[in-house]
Amino acid sequence: MTTHLPHDAEPPVLAVIGAGPRGSAVVARLIAHLAAVPGARAEIHVVDPHPPGAGRVWDPDQSPLLLMNTLAGHATAFPDADARLTGPAAPGPSLRAWAQRRGSPLDAHAYPARALMGRYLSWAYRTTVAGAPPEVRVVHHPTRATGLARTPDGRHRITLADAPGLTADAVVLATGHTDRAPTSADAALDAHAARHGLVRLPSGHAQERDTTSLAPGGTVVVRGLAMGFFDQLALLTEGRGGRFTPLPARSGDGPDGRLRYLPSGREPRLLVTSGRGVPYLARARVGADTPPSHRPAVLDAAAVARLTAAAPGSVSFGEDVLPLILKEAGYAWYRTLAAHSPDGLDQSPEEFLAAYAAAEAGSAAEHAVVAAAVPAERNRFDAARLDRPLGGLTFPDAEALNAWVRHWLAEDLAAALTPQRSPRKAAAAAIAAVKAPVRRIAASGVLDAASVAELAEFRSFGAHVASGPPASRAAELLALAEAGVVEFLGARPAVSTGPAEAGTGCFTVRTASLPDRTVSTGALLDAWLPSADLARTADPLLAGLVRSGAARPHRAGPAGEGPPTGALDVDLADFRVRDRAGRPAADLFAFGIPLEGLEWNTAIGARAGTDAALFRQADRIAQAMLRHCAVPPAGP
Query: Tens digits of per-residue pLDDT, 418-433?
Result: 999 999 999 999 999 9
* CB contact at 8 A, 144 and 178: no
In sequence order, the 6+-apart residues with CB closer than 8 A to the CB of 1 are: none
Q: How far apart are CA 229 and CA 263, in angstroms?
A: 19
According to DSSP, the residues that pair with 578 across neighbouring strands are 584
Q: What pLDDT is attached to residue 287?
A: 72
Is residue 174 a contact partner of residue 16, using CB atoms and an 8 Å limit? yes
Residue type, 544: G
Please state the φ and ψ torsions of residue 145, each to the nearest 5 degrees. Answer: -85, 125
Report d(CA 356, CA 335) in Å as an integer: 10
What dihedral angle (degrees, nearest 10) is formed by the CA atoms of 232, 237, 238, 240? 100
Domain limits, the chain: 13-179+532-628, 193-280+469-494+519-526, 301-405+413-466
For CA atoms 380, 381, 382, 387, give the dihedral sign: positive
DSSP state of 278: S
Average pLDDT estimate for 312-328: 96
> Parallel, antiparallel, or unpaired: how do β-strands 42-47 and 13-17 relate?
parallel
Q: Which residues pair with 223 in a beta bridge?
A: 273, 526
- Torsion angle in degrees (nearest 10) through CA of 199, 204, 210, 214: 40
Task: Report d(CA 429, CA 295) in Å as an integer.
Answer: 9
Residue 183 CB neighbours (<10 A): 10
Q: Can you tell me the distance from the alpha carbon of 27 to that of 622, in angstroms, rounded to the nearest whole number? A: 8
Other beta carbons less than 10 A from residue 518's beta carbon: 13
Q: Which pLDDT value is given to residue 498?
A: 72
Say what the pLDDT of residue 7 is: 41
* 480 within 8 A of 233, measured Cβ to Cβ: yes
Q: What percentage of the chain carries pLDDT values higher than 70?
A: 95
Q: Edge-to-edge, what's the strand order for the sheet holding 145-150?
A: 145-150, 156-160, 166-168
pLDDT at 83: 92
pTM of the model: 0.93
Alpha helices (H) in 527-599, listed in sequence order:
540-548
Q: What are phi and psi of 220, to 5 degrees?
A: -125, 125
Measured distance CA(52)–CA(8) in Å, rounded: 31
Model pLDDT, residue 1: 28
Indicate the DSSP class of residue 419. Answer: G
Locate all alpha helices (DSSP H) within 102-241, ordered by sequence.
114-130, 184-196, 227-236
Residue 47 has pLDDT above 50, yes or no: yes
Can you tell me the mean pLDDT for 2-7? Answer: 37
Confidence of residue 2 (pLDDT cuts 50, 70, 90): very low
Q: Give strand pairing partners of 523.
A: 199
Give the integer Cα–Cα distance in Å for 363 and 160: 57
Tell me what the mean pLDDT of segment 316-338 comes to.
96
pLDDT band at 5 (very low <50, low <70, confident <90, very high): very low
In DSSP terms, 171 is beta-bridged to: 15, 588
d(CA 213, CA 294) in angstroms, rounded, equals 46
Q: Which of 4-18, 139-153, 271-285, 580-594 has the lowest mean pLDDT?
A: 4-18
* Cα–Cα dist 519/51, whole Å: 42
Counting Cα atoms < 13 Å in the Cβ hemisphere of 328 gives 23
Written as one letter, the residue type at 487 is E
Q: In what order do the strands lie in the sheet with 570-571?
A: 136-141, 42-47, 13-17, 170-173, 584-590, 576-578, 570-571
* CATH superfamily to which 13-179+532-628 belongs: FAD/NAD(P)-binding domain (3.50.50.60)
Are 448 and 313 in contact, with CB atoms under 8 Å apart? yes
Is the pLDDT at 6 greater than 50, yes or no?
A: no
Q: What is the pLDDT of residue 251?
A: 59
